[in-house]
Amino acid sequence: MEKLNSKPSKKRESSQQTWWQPAMVIFSQVTGLIAGPILIALFVGKALDRKYGTEPWIFLGLTGIAFLISSLGIVSITIKYTKKLEKELKDKKANSEEKNNNNQI
C-alpha cells in the first residue's frame, strides 16, 4: 500500500508539469500574431500619415493588412495543430490496438 505522503514518481511528476505547455505555446503564437502586426501598423501607419499628411488613411490601410496577416496566421496555426493532434490520436490508437493484440496472444 502506497503512503499518502510519498512523492509521486518522476514520470507522473513530469507529465503534471508539462500538460499545460502546448497550450501556452499556442497562446503565445496566436497572441504574437494578433499583437505584432497591429502594433507595427499602429506605429508605422501613424508615422507615415504624419509624414505625408494623409491621416488616417495609411494607418487604416495598414491596419486592414495587419488584420489579414493575423487572420491567415491564426488559420495556419490552427491547421498545423489540428494535424498534429490528429497524428497523435492516430498513433495513440495504433499503439492501443497493438497493445491489445499483444495481450490476446
Q: How many domains in the chain?
A: 1
What is the model's pLDDT at position 18? 83
Spans of the chain below 50 pLDDT: 1-2
Find the domain containing 62 and state its range.
Answer: 29-104
- Let me know if residue 18 belongs to a domain: no
- Let me know if residue 5 belongs to a domain: no
What is the model's pLDDT at position 67? 97
Cβ atoms 63, 41 nearer than 8 A: yes
pTM: 0.71
C-alpha cell, 101: 493484440
Cβ atoms 87, 95 nearer than 8 A: no
- Let me know if residue 17 belongs to a domain: no
